[in-house]
Structure 1
Amino acid sequence: MPAPSRVRQELAQEAARIMLDDGIRDFGLAKRKAAEHLGVDARHEMPGNLEIQDAAIERSRLFADADSQAAYRSRLAAALVVMERLRHLEPRLVGPLLQGLVESQPLINLHGFAETVEEVILELGERGIHCETGEHRYRSRQGREQRVPFLAFRGPDDTDVELTIFPLDGIRQAPPSPVDGRPMARAARHEVERMLEDAAQSAGLSAAAD
């Protein structure tokens, strides 16, 4: 496979910057904005979603500093608080935070599992948590579209939480990732705890080296 062209690499890097800095989750929109910013014809060969994700991960590592590392640990800790409070939903962490990315918008993406979304809305309301409702659309490799409801609400430490509610048996099969079409990566609470421990340890080593 030939190496990607310089323009394609620049488009991937610019799209990654836009997604991280502007909190854009739509790969197509990020690509169009990247082409506009670089003055490239939108019909030019565009990078794939996986190329953009790889560029975002690399950018996050390259520009990591004490503040961004602290923000990452803080968001993981906030995710753990929510996951503990909703442990009966067997929540799973997904999305950029799971990939180690620190976006400008402190958003925590979780998958939860319940018989109905209404029972989760009722429970949150009883806890005094107001939530907005929405819907995600996932397309399988067979081309079938699945619509899954999500609840958006405020979490700890000024974070926003987006909790997608799947049926109980949805825990067995993750929906396809918009990046590569493979089952979306998910992390249970004990895995997020380990991620936080590793991040804290890395921060301690960095401080000792300084």
Structure 2
Amino acid sequence: MGKRAIGFQREIVAEAARLICEERLTDYKQAKHKAAERLGLSARSQMPDNALIHEAVIEYQRLFGGAEYAGHLQALRRTAVRAMKLLRDFNPRMVGAAVSGAVTDAHRVRLHGFADKPEMLDMFLQDRNIPYETNDRRYRYPDGRIEDVPTCEFMAGDIGIEMAMFPVEDLRRAPLSPHDGLPMKRLTLEQAERLAEEPIELASEGEAYD
């Protein structure tokens, strides 16, 4: 790749990260194409990998997100822990942006649960009078399979929670992350508890404006 193309990619990465953080975009592909358009670049330009966007979002929030970002990320992580305790019968795992820190106020807690039948979660929530909505999320697996996995979405205070329900045998067979193409990082309750207690690192004022 030539120096000019590398320069274009860096510009797209920076602008896409800004759009995600400031305009509440959650779709990286949309953010990249919108960034290219804003920069006057061709839609046929070679787009950067999602992994670069993901890291740039974390860095942008570290530099400019401030206390609002730190508070929201910590709230997501602590809410995830409470939800996992409530849903411990489903062997919950914490996944997604709240694990890495690449979050904006558009993000919700995302969990993976496991049961013989996905409707067991519906019954669990109904028995506790917890309002929820059903949906599905598409996942890609290392063997090339693409599957739509059923989800339940509900609220914990003002924070949304989405739990995708996988077959029990998928507990040790994680789908691929859309950000880096590797098996998704799934945190157990104990790991999520430790993460929720870690301080959120932010840039100093001088560093943010260098």
- TM category (shorter chain) comes to 0.7 to 0.9
Residues 3-53 of structure 1: CA deviation (Å, up to 9, x unaligned): 762221110111122223333332211111111222211111211111111
Q: Does residue 137 of the first structure (1) align with residue 143 of the second (2)?
A: no
Which runs of 5 or more residues in structure 2 are unaligned?
205-210
1:137 CA drift (Å): 1.6
Residues 64-115 of structure 1: CA deviation (Å, up to 9, x unaligned): 4223212222221111111110011111111111002331224111111111
Q: Does residue 194 of the first structure (1) align with residue 194 of the second (2)?
A: yes
Distance 1:45 1:33 in 2: 14
Secondary structure at the aligned position of 2:85 is classed as helix
Residues 134-187 of structure 1: CA deviation (Å, up to 9, x unaligned): 11122234432222111111123x001111100111111110111222100111
Distance 2:124 2:99 in 1: 26
Distance 2:180 2:69 in 1: 27
TM-score (norm 2): 0.87
Aligned-residue Cα RMSD (Å) equals: 2.1
Please tell me the residue identity of whatever aligns with 2:99: L
1:159 paired residue number: 159
Secondary structure at the aligned position of 2:97 is classed as coil
2:122 paired residue number: 121
Secondary structure at the aligned position of 2:30 is classed as helix
Q: Residues 55-94 of structure 1: matches in 2 within 5 Å?
A: 55-94=56-95
1:12 paired residue number: 13
1:33 paired residue number: 34
Distance 1:10 1:84 in 2: 42
Task: Assess if the C-alpha contact under 8 Å between 2:97 and 2:107 holds in 1.
Answer: no
Q: Structure 1 residues 138 and 106 mapped into 2: Cα distance closer, same or farther (>3 Å)?
A: closer
Q: Structure 1 residues 28 and 59 mapped into 2: Cα distance closer, same or farther (>3 Å)?
A: same
Distance 1:38 1:188 in 2: 41
Distance 1:147 1:176 in 2: 13
Please tell me the residue identity of whatever aligns with 2:43: A
Q: Structure 1 residues 21 and 151 mapped into 2: Cα distance closer, same or farther (>3 Å)?
A: farther
Secondary structure at the aligned position of 1:77 is classed as helix
Task: Assess if the C-alpha contact under 8 Å between 1:21 and 1:104 holds in 2.
Answer: no
TM-score (norm 1): 0.87
Secondary structure at the aligned position of 1:170 is classed as helix
Identity fraction in percent: 37
Please tell me the residue identity of whatever aligns with 2:153: A
Most deviating of 164-173 and 19-28: 19-28
Q: Residues 98-117 of structure 1: matches in 2 within 5 Å?
A: 98-117=99-118
Q: Does residue 96 of the first structure (1) align with residue 71 of the second (2)?
A: no
1:2 CA drift (Å): 6.9
Task: Assess if the C-alpha contact under 8 Å between 1:150 and 1:163 holds in 2.
Answer: yes
Q: Structure 1 residues 22 and 161 mapped into 2: Cα distance closer, same or farther (>3 Å)?
A: farther
Please tell me the residue identity of whatever aligns with 1:166: F
Please tell me the residue identity of whatever aligns with 2:198: D
1:132 CA drift (Å): 1.3
Please tell me the residue identity of whatever aligns with 1:160: G
